[in-house]
Structure 1
């Protein structure tokens, strides 16, 4: 009889009994999907496991084995021995241990954990429960390697497991420990003892805040029966014995994916530059003592090598691209205060100085303390204790080779005494001051080859433009996500609340709402302001203790809000770009002191509003710019004493069709596609920076989703109207800029080509070719291209400048990549004919030239000197489709271009093993047999899991483990997912050659590859599993 079903969520196979029960109950409706790929395997396995467990429990001991073997026999028959075979039949024995050597001769058995190795369990330190300290000692007895990730280590806790760990290391076990000096709780006596035992230790020395809150022990066993403890217990006596601590003991058998993820996270942390090696030497002991002492001694310079954090390395890489690819030597870096701008500048100078030694330097700032800190930083980075001369106060440079000067000192100096080209590099801190006359004078005088500007706030309250010194561009900007995840900025708690307003009829002027109409609407009555005050009181514990900024439409609006908050008993003030400097400073000071609780402002983006204690932001006007939104958000992300997060109250109205909610939301989500923003809103923002939250009330959610659906459904007719408005001189770039579309936005949807859109809009263009629509629609297959030599080649080819008879083999394959992308794989048979067919479409060729110019701006990495062979035209760390990789290796067969299968292709011509990896596998596209654990560990190591049929003692496995002996070069091509945010097939990033380092397991083999060339920081960020 079918079991009665209860309404609610399920995650199980839908049985015939379930179906019958639903049919009998008209009040129930079943929502089902097909059992396919990994989901099908998982749910069927769970269902069968329940049935088998119940069936075995009801049998006698003898019949249980017989039943088990009957089931294995069925599997053997159904799979023809590929999954189960004779060796898998069970006996009536429980294998508990395999002993070797002395242990085998003496017939002694290893102490077993109190919890079965194949079970997971919760430990609470209750009187009748397993104590974690006791269980850990029993687990250590049988471990082969141990990794410990723990925030605090105290002697009182270590001594409880000290002997067990000592014995473990003594018999050859490997012990790694990661900890912190956060809250100065870790004791040096404890970590020195761990060093004596034989542990390898890494420590985070940030005593103000920690990203490491995890407490975990991972006990590796070569038999595959690894276990882990994850929970709340630090290594202290109370936590190990009688504290009210909860810890989960996980087993590799029933929680294998979780164990794998713990291992991946630990390995990523181990390679993270935040965690520094502690080896017990006098130098490392001094480093530890300096981090935990109550009053750090001034003037201490560490002799440790200075390495950039990954987010800093990304900025350094962008600067390299700007100079190397685009020839831009004057660059502005925008990053929040406290993110290490000076360290980045010093590392950038070190890199250039090594290339161009000697490189004279002028570092300019407006305060003496900034100059002193900068000089110390440069000395640490360069390992040069006498580097730099001061030109501030009474100090005068003697050599003028490396000068740290205040702008005031330079203002009083006759610059004509120094050649304009004397300094090879000029670095200006807080570059937003550069619009002042004192800075203008030195910028106009010096003609250094390199100019580097550093600022947290590129916009000025007086509206003066500083970007003109950098060609109107910001070269590199720190992602808010990275800064929050690193603990460099506070997390935000964003609340989107509907204000009851309707802006759909407000006039739309030059890409935004008309300010005067918004002002009239927002100040006409008190309805909206009452709603705002209500929301403030609901979300702020005590509004009289908040430090808030309110961003308004106009001066009238700001003054109106100030009056209304004052009337409501919340002291407020108003500042704008017209407010005299003295009054502006006074208003800021009053906010700091709590004399007023909110400053309302219009020109909020200048240096005039930079108050770290700000803990609340009110978005009182619609913001149709991601840049402006992030800058407004950034005003409250600075750390201050007692501040744990920034509260953001955004007041949302029904919007005009042209308004773009995806700009602001996409900025908070990390600049993702509109489609991804829509999915995030629908799912209530599951992925945000650490500690952040983003909540929309239902009305706001409906408004935002309706707007996003409208934006996603933009019609070809609207684009045609825009194009007609731009006229015959419209280019692909001007069109995309005016339409506010990215390259991916435009080419991922119909009409798929600018040429076709021009024809529909009646814009004159070259004569139409016979296959223009089809070829134009395939341009989307090129929009990932970021290989500079290839883009140059495509441009040359599109101009018709190729001499087919004189093509090198490398360029012939580049042409093969292009022709097969635009015409299909069958065009590989007659390359010359295919190329001529493309040239017959002059309008497409013209568009191709424009497209390559835009794609060059997206290049993220500088070219390397590595070449697979003289003939294979693939550049390191650039992106290629599977078809393009096949073209590059000239994989042409009878049916045209071949496509690698099963994730691996051995290329005999180059003796290369091509390994294709998708990091985040979706159950929709991959079967469980292909859900391998693949990820970047760090810039030098990659974890890859082979196919399930690969063993180290078989030819496939030996190609990996013995590739050097066999003369094989493994090449890794990786992508983060199967599809992009725009629904296109994601290309692979060529990570380069790798060498075998180690492996665990068989069928599949989990291999760690050592990369020959470091993986760039942005790729590491996207392809590593740990935070």
Structure 2
């Protein structure tokens, strides 16, 4: 910090001296936050550290420095007894090493790294600097465990460290290596030698692209003085010795949190199915050789096909649709190139494991797709001869597992096949299903399971394919996940204000009127000039771009084509009436770079696959997230030389009814309106790797104003809306009409009962505490397990006889009542229940609310039960008060609200572990900022309370729980509060078993999950994306 105040940003405790200096300078304005109780630990310790360092420098001798240090320790020990003791006083000796005594003289000291273990340093391979290769050799000599993460490994780099690594493993060291075959740079000779030495290796076999650009070494030492190297160096001679490489050497002493994060990220990668174990077997070596030589990886049965996490999430959603909701006809929406066929094959494999035999019909409209699909299914099922094709002259003989083109099936007399012959029918590119050839199949066959796959569910002709799926999409791929996994290219999104004002354009049936919008956009050249200006600003060379522009009408598309041609950027217009030959010619010209843009009225959003497209022009506002993603997806395919997609979106002043949160939410992973508002204000700090969203100032103001208007709910306006609904004024209809989510509505301390009463349309007499109980309904909206929701409905219907309830149901009722009422005597369950029933409007609302909450169930119920008496379902959500009620924790007549991070229940011998993943220092003290995260669906890293020692009673409950008869149970939530400010409930992940641990105060424990963590929770709880 400067001696005198300078304008700029600070992050420091304000001292009296500096405060006085600011006051003396009237030209300065200070922005100050209060330093709260525990949250200032980091800043106060930094402040104190600077002062102590300054004071120590002022001492003349080491003896004086030690004396001052010990005086300070004595003072601290008086104020923090038990945490700091006078025996922590410094001596005049510096400990350098501890070795095991041997009988024949003293041990020779271990050679130390050139950089002190307690210091971090930058290495540049300069002639007068520590070389990365030389330093690694020195570091390896004192390591206990080493983890290496590099994009490629060359023999030249490996042999420079071979002897050091050989010695390290020979003395019992553990070496793990993660690498890739990206660009075919890794050499098998180096891998084989590492395996021979005793290393463990995992490889990503994707030769086309890699997510792994990090280069890091983690050197663990049992003494706690671990170090890490992070930078630009792969394991090659050039990187180790010769190159202009920059690497940071980090010390656990002064960069402990960063070292912890490196370790967490490595462990997550190690458990990721993208990285496959490599060993000395012929199978591993053959696979490696064939892949780097661009050959097929040999017999498909050697391949184990596992879903990526985002694919597993979609498969789990299909389970929910079938098992929870009974929907056996399901549509999956995912961008082209994201592995829809693999997901379908994995889904079929799961179903065949449950139901044998399950005859299959897979329908597509292109021979190439069918050939690739057939190969994929054989690989997933590990079955060489699985299935037959019906396309291009091939005809099935068995008709058990058929991969058929729709054209071939058009020639089949379907009545010769039983309607229920196929147990599962999968239709690729289901957007074609409106065609007669597909309709014929869908209307005739009656499969147990229908699965539709498409990237483009919205058709240009307006025909609704969702009619085959009860109007419902089962699962939709988050583009974040596909981009993070490298299936799609990143996008650069630029929102530019076009100077227009659409507030006067008619709003009809949830969207702008197309005719009015078209007239507005084509009235003059002003907007077109803005669009061309943006293209020239953001595209390096517009004459080399390949763009798709989505327009509102034919006249708008023709207008934009004309304006681009006039600007000497060749373009074409392709609309529904364009002849096929002309349409195909335009697409070919765009692929070849003969023209630079095609303007269309959504027709190119359906079924068109042009990977070369590198620019998307959003020239019309869309209120549909699905349409927006469909258009965005047209440019996200990989293509030679394409590293990202540029998206130019032109934003006008909008109607209050327009929903910017729909399109922004599509890019941000279906985020809530409040989360989107926060992201806009902070310039979108969290995006998929390689992506960017940039709004100009005017666009940002328009969007924020729009979001704020939607987040402001005025009771009078809602009352008018209720009156307008008349006889249709149900909770469901009200929320739909108001475009409010359940959380949006209830987070405002509103209830439907109180709103109806204010509007004068309530059909029920008012209960004595209706307003207060109504406000507490918000505490229930997280409920998401079917059995509990059914119980709540029964309770609200007055269908319970408390005296006849089983203990499990008594606790379920207590869970409900302690949320909605001020329960003074938990034992008087009958009296408290009568108090609830005295509020018929609230009970009626509860019935409606449980119906809506049933539709929000996201996980399949499990057979796992902690105890027959404890009404908690695996993967369901509960507040800490509900968990206390479920365990019958009652103190002085009241249900105990659990506030500890660890709570041991003596009655059941359950050790309850509560985890909040995304902690912030504003809500947690440094002493509770634990490192808690999912390593994989099977392993969870957890840190105990700060005071827990391994040999303490608490510590033994963690490490020796089996012997003590203790059951550790894990409850996890993403953050302390939801986007709308409500306290976030915990998700019950079930029992865990001790796997391993290191250190103490806190103990860092890895738990093994007894029940696999669902994919959506892993996504939230995983530290490495």
* 1:481 aligned partner: 480
Cα distance in structure 2, aligned partners of 1:403 and 1:558: 42
Q: Distance in 2 between matches of 1:774 and 1:500?
A: 48
Partner residue in 2 for 1:44: 44
**Aligned: 1:431 with 2:434:** no
* Cα drift, residue 765 of structure 1: 2.7
2:532 is aligned to 533
**Residues 227, 608 of structure 1: CA spacing in aligned structure 2 closer, same or farther, 3 A cutoff?**
closer
1:579-612, Cα deviation, whole Å (9 max, x unpaired): 3333333322222222221111123465254322
Look up the match of 1:637: 636
1:125, distance to aligned residue in structure 2 (A): 0.4
CA RMSD of aligned residues (A): 1.6
Secondary structure in structure 1 of the residue aligned to 2:564: helix
Deviations 1:355-387 (A, max 9, x none): 111111111222222222222222222222221
Structure 1: segments with no counterpart, 5+ residues: none
The 8 Å contact of residues 817 and 884 in structure 1, kept in 2 or not, is answered as yes
**1: CA distance, partners of 2:828 / 2:537:** 71
2:110 is matched with 110
In 2, the alpha carbon distance for the partners of 1:922 and 1:715 equals: 32
Correspondence for 1:319: 318
CA contact (8 A) 1:515 1:554 kept: yes
Question: How far apart are residue 300 of structure 1 and its match?
Answer: 4.5
Cα distance in 1 for residues equivalent to 2:433 and 2:654: 38
The more displaced of 535-544 and 390-399 is 390-399
> Relative to 1, partners in 2 of residues 1:38 and 1:261: Cα closer, same or farther, differing over 3 Å?
farther
Q: Return the alpha-carbon distance in structure 2 between the equivalents of residues 913 and 775 of structure 1.
A: 32
Q: Is the Cα contact below 8 Å between 1:226 and 1:251 reproduced in 2?
A: yes
Q: Give TM-score scaled by structure 2 length.
A: 0.98
CA contact (8 A) 1:75 1:83 kept: no
Find 1:801's aligned residue among 785, 793, 799.
799
- What's the CA shift string for 1:645-667, capped at 9, x where partnerless? 11111111112222222221122
Q: How does 1:19-168 map to 2 (within 5 A)?
A: 19-37=19-37, 39-59=39-59, 60-79=61-80, 81-102=81-102, 105-168=105-168
Q: The residue matched to 1:489 in structure 2 has which SS? A: coil
Q: Is the 8 A contact 2:146 2:175 kept in 1?
A: yes
The answer to which of 594-603 and 773-782 deviates more is 594-603
| Greater displacement, 356-365 / 948-957 | 356-365
State the distance in 2 between where 1:297 and 1:868 align: 48
Does the 8 A contact of 1:820 with 1:826 survive in 2?
Answer: no
Alignment match of 1:774 (pick from 772, 775, 784): 772
In the alignment, structure 1 residue 698 sits paired with structure 2 residue 694:
no
1:268-313 Cα shifts (integer Å, max 9, x gaps): 00000000000121101111112211x4248742413211100000
Q: CA deviation at 1:714?
A: 2.9
Deviation at residue 76 of structure 1 after TM alignment:
0.7
> 2-side partners of 1:338 and 1:610: how far apart?
10
* Secondary structure class of the residue paired with 2:743: helix
Are residues 420 and 104 of structure 1, via their aligned partners in 2, closer, same or farther at CA, if it must alter by over 3 Å? farther
Partner of 2:304: 305
Residue of structure 2 equivalent to 1:860: 858
Determine the C-alpha separation between the residues in 1 that align with 2:174 and 2:327.
49
SS for the counterpart of 2:648 is strand
Cα distance in 2 for residues equivalent to 1:502 and 1:103: 89
Aligned to 2:375: 376
Could you tell me which residue of structure 1 aligns to residue 557 of structure 2? 558
Contact 1:227-1:249 within 8 A present in 2 as well = yes
Residues 161-199 of structure 1: per-residue CA shift (max 9 Å, x gap) = 111001100011110000000010000011111101110
- Give CA deviations for 1:736-787 in whole Å, capped at 9, x if unaligned: 222221111111114x212222222333432221211111111111111111
Cα distance, 1:620 vs. partner?
1.4
Match of 1:811 in 2: 809
Report the equivalent of 2:983: 985
Is the contact between residue 996 and residue 1007 of structure 2 (CA under 8 Å) also seen in structure 1? Answer: yes
CA contact under 8 A between 1:506 and 1:514: conserved in structure 2? Answer: yes
Relative to structure 1, the CA distance from residue 522 to residue 827 in structure 2 (aligned partners, 3 Å threshold; closer, same or farther) is farther
Counterparts in 2 of 1:638 and 1:322: CA distance versus 1, 3 Å: same
Q: Any conservation in 2 of the 1:605–1:631 contact (CA below 8 Å)?
A: no
Q: Does 1:233 align with 2:241?
A: no
Partner of 1:215: 215
Return the alpha-carbon distance in structure 2 between the equivalents of residues 1015 and 269 of structure 1.
16
Q: Which residue of 2 aligns with 1:505?
A: 504
Q: Is the CA contact 1:672–1:981 (under 8 Å) kept in the aligned structure 2?
A: no
Instruction: Quote the offset at 1:496 in angstroms.
Output: 0.9
SS of aligned partner of 2:404:
strand
State whether residues 38 and 928 of structure 1, in contact with CA within 8 Å, keep that contact through their aligned partners in structure 2. Answer: yes
The residue that corresponds to 2:620 in the other structure is 621
Q: How does 1:878-1027 map to 2 (within 5 A)?
A: 878-1027=876-1025
Write the distance in 2 (CA, Å) between the matches of 1:243 and 1:183. Answer: 19
How far has the Cα of 1:104 moved from its partner? 9.0
After superposition, give the CA deviation of every residue in 1:194-247 in whole Å (9 maximum; x if it has no partner): 101110000001111100000000001111110000000000001001210000
Matches within 5 A, 1:233-252: 233-252=233-252
Counterpart secondary structure, 2:418: coil
Greater mean alpha carbon deviation, residues 210-219 or residues 789-798: 789-798
8 Å CA contact 2:605, 2:631 repeated in 1: no
TM-score, length of structure 1 as denominator length: 0.98
Give the distance between the partners of 1:787 and 1:104, measured in 2 at CA.
68
Tell which deviates more after alignment, 188-197 or 30-39: 30-39
Question: CA offset at residue 617 of structure 1?
Answer: 1.1
| Whole-Å separation in 2 of the counterparts to 1:162 and 1:415 | 67
* Correspondence for 1:596: 595
Deviations 1:717-737 (A, max 9, x none): 222222222222222222222
Moved more, 603-612 or 627-636: 603-612
Contact 1:37–1:925 (CA under 8 A) maintained in structure 2? no
Is the Cα–Cα contact under 8 Å of residues 150 and 216 in structure 1 kept in the other structure? yes
Q: Name the structure 1 match of 2:386.
A: 387
Question: SS where residue 175 of structure 2 aligns?
Answer: strand
Instruction: Compare 158-167 and 764-773 and name the one that shifted more.
Output: 764-773
- C-alpha separation between the residues in 2 aligned to 1:735 and 1:613? 45
- Secondary structure of the structure 2 residue equivalent to 1:828: coil
Q: Distance in 2 between matches of 1:1005 and 1:832?
A: 45
1:92/1:493 CA distance change after superposition, 3 Å: same
For residues 548 and 13 of structure 1, what CA distance do their matches in structure 2 show?
52
902 and 582 in structure 1: CA distance in 2 versus 1, 3 angstrom threshold: same
Query: Which residue of the partner structure matches residue 5 of structure 2?
Result: 5
Q: Is the 8 A contact 1:457 1:605 kept in 2?
A: no
Aligned residues of 1:363 and 1:426 also touching (Cα < 8 A): yes
> SS where residue 151 of structure 1 aligns?
coil
User: Helix, strand or coil for the counterpart of 2:826?
Assistant: helix
Contact 1:3 1:21 in 2 (8 A): no
1:955-985 Cα distance to aligned partner (Å, 9 max, x none) = 1111111111111010010111101111110
Q: Which moved more, 1:768-777 or 1:600-609?
A: 600-609
CA contact (8 A) 2:290 2:297 kept: no
**How far apart, in 2, do the equivalents of 1:826 and 1:659 lie?**
48
Native 8 Å contact 1:320 1:862 kept in 2: yes
Q: Secondary structure at the match of 1:241?
A: helix
How many angstroms apart in 1 are the aligned matches of 2:331 and 2:714? 37
- Cα separation, 1, equivalents of 2:760 and 2:586: 57
Q: State the alpha-carbon separation in 1 of the partners of residues 16 and 298 from structure 2.
A: 76
In the alignment, is the contact (CA less than 8 A) between 2:272 and 2:936 conserved in 1? yes
What SS does the aligned partner of 2:425 have? strand
In 2, Cα distance between the equivalents of 1:839 and 1:669?
Answer: 43
CA contact (8 A) 2:776 2:820 kept: yes
**Displacement after TM superposition at 1:637 (Å):** 1.0
1:375-412 CA distance string (max 9 Å, x none): 22222222222211222233332322222222222211
